[in-house]
Amino acid sequence: SVGSAWTMSDLLRFSPPPCSAAPPPRRPAWHRYRLSESMKGLLVALLGGGVPAGFVAPFTRIVNEASGMPSLEILYFRCCLHLLFIGYLRYRKVPCFGPPEVRWRTLLHASVNVISIGCAYSSFMMVPSGNAATVRKGSSTISSVLLAFCIENSQLTGYDWFGLVGSMLGLIIMVVPDLLSLDKSTQIYNTFGYVLACSGGMTLALGLIIFRRLDFPAKLMTVVFLFGVVGSLVCFPLMFLFQEPVLVLDLYTWIYVVSISLLALLSFLCASYAVTKAHPALVCAVLHSEVAVTLAVQYYVLREAVTPFDIMGAGVILGSIAIITAQNISCHPADEEEGPIEEEWQRP
């Protein structure tokens, strides 16, 4: 009959079997592009760790030149701010010094960070703040790569290595010309400042590796509080022994000191969080953004000279950070993203 006649177009038209289910709904295209955990950590390190830390070095130099407040006294007031976190730990009813089985490691982490920041603050007052920050970040990156290989046997991709080498090249462009043009009358003094900056970077990398291997509840707030305990106990006697504490009554100086403490605390929290999400070497490389911020403040606020090598090196560093950032943005395949939806759709 005419109603049952099949045409060629009917035969060629695809018709799914009557028992087959309809295809599962597809996710929107924008949902298939999301940040990886590593990328989230690097963004936290960039925006919360590197940028705020860029103001610490020039502000420390401003306080020292304006009032003569020594580095250990500034560090002591910062440690006192960290002690306020005991309220959070008591509210959560967790041990203030960490669980007994990891207590020695938390104390080691606090001691290493106190040494790192003490060396950094001292170097900021002996050499230009931008150069000190550059040397510190460079040594922290190299040390974190070596420590990650030796302790964690971590591997990096080709893009990561390219970004690391680029960031180190930028640091070399910035530092080597300044080292070659040191004044002979202050060569020993300046060299000691660079040694302190390098030591601060190495201990910074060690502290990040130690924190990465800690695993207990509220570990971030615990190490923040322990930093305050160890730092205050160490800095209070040492600032009378090696330096001359200054009683400052100037309001603007105290505004700078409080700003240094808050910015450094924010950087400490973000860098520690980031290292639990991404490779320590990548975190240190992204923290190189501190150098670019420090150079900008050094030029526009302190009116210190910034050479073309500094600008060129900062550009190379920022380009390397962009490479590392772009490589860590994950684009997940559609089948990986749509699997859970398909299973849920087919569930009776």
Q: Say if residues 3 and 239 touch (Cβ distance below 8 Å).
A: no
221-254 burial, b at 16+ Cβ within 10 Å, e below that, comes to bbbbbbbbbbbbebbbeebeeebeeeebeeeebe
pLDDT in tens, 300-318: 887 777 788 878 887 887 7
Note whether residue 152 is domain-resident: yes
> In terms of pLDDT, which residue wins out, 245 or 255?
255
pLDDT tens, 156-169?
Answer: 677 777 877 887 88
For residue 116, which of 307, 250, 2, 287 has the smallest C-alpha distance? 287
Domain contains 153: yes
Q: Residue 124: which pLDDT band, with cuts at 50, 70 and 90?
A: confident
User: Which tokens is 315 given?
Assistant: 């550009």
Residue 16 has pLDDT above 80, yes or no: no
Neighbours of 341 (CB within 10 A): 13
Structural domain contains residue 18: no
Residue 342 lies in a domain: no
Residue 12: is its pLDDT beyond 60?
no
Mean pLDDT of 15-44: 65
Q: Name the least confident of 18-22, 53-57, 196-200.
A: 18-22
| pLDDT recorded at residue 233 | 93
DSSP 9-66: HHHHS----TTSPPPPPPPPGGGGB---HHHHHHHHIIIIIIHHHTTHHHHHHHHHHH
What count of residues does the chain have? Answer: 348
Average pLDDT over residues 185-202: 84
For residue 223, the model assigns a pLDDT of: 93
- Residue 317 contacts residue 167 (beta carbons within 8 Å): yes
- Please state the three-class secondary structure of 225-257 as a single string: HHHHHHHHHHHHHHHHHCCCCCCCCCHHHHHHH
**Cβ–Cβ under 8 Å, residues 78 and 88:** no
10 found inside a domain = no
Beta bridge mates, 331:
33
Provide the pLDDT confidence category of residue 109 given band limits of 50, 70 and 90.
very high
Q: What local confidence, expressed as pLDDT, does residue 10 receive?
A: 56
Sign for the pseudo-dihedral over CA of 261, 262, 267, 272: positive
Domain count, the chain: 1
Q: How sure is the predictor about 66, in pLDDT bands with cuts at 50, 70 and 90? A: confident
pLDDT for 222: 93
**Token pair 């380009």: residue:** 319
134 in a domain, yes or no?
A: yes
Whether residue 3 has pLDDT greater than 60:
no
Q: How confident is the model at residue 147 (pLDDT cuts 50, 70, 90)?
A: confident
Question: Is residue 218 over pLDDT 90?
Answer: no
Q: Does any domain span residue 259?
A: yes
For residue 256, the model assigns a pLDDT of: 92
Cα–Cα distance, 110 to 113 (Å, whole number): 5
How far from the centroid of its chain's Cα atoms is residue 99's Cα?
Answer: 26
Give a yes or no: residue 348 inside a domain: no
User: pLDDT-derived band of residue 289, with 50, 70 and 90 as boundaries?
Assistant: confident
Range of the domain at 67: 37-330
How high is the pLDDT of residue 270? 93
**What pLDDT sits at residue 333?**
42
Side chain identity at 131, as an amino acid letter? Answer: N
Per-residue pLDDT, averaged over 88-96, amounts to 89
* Cβ pair 174, 131 in contact under 8 A: yes
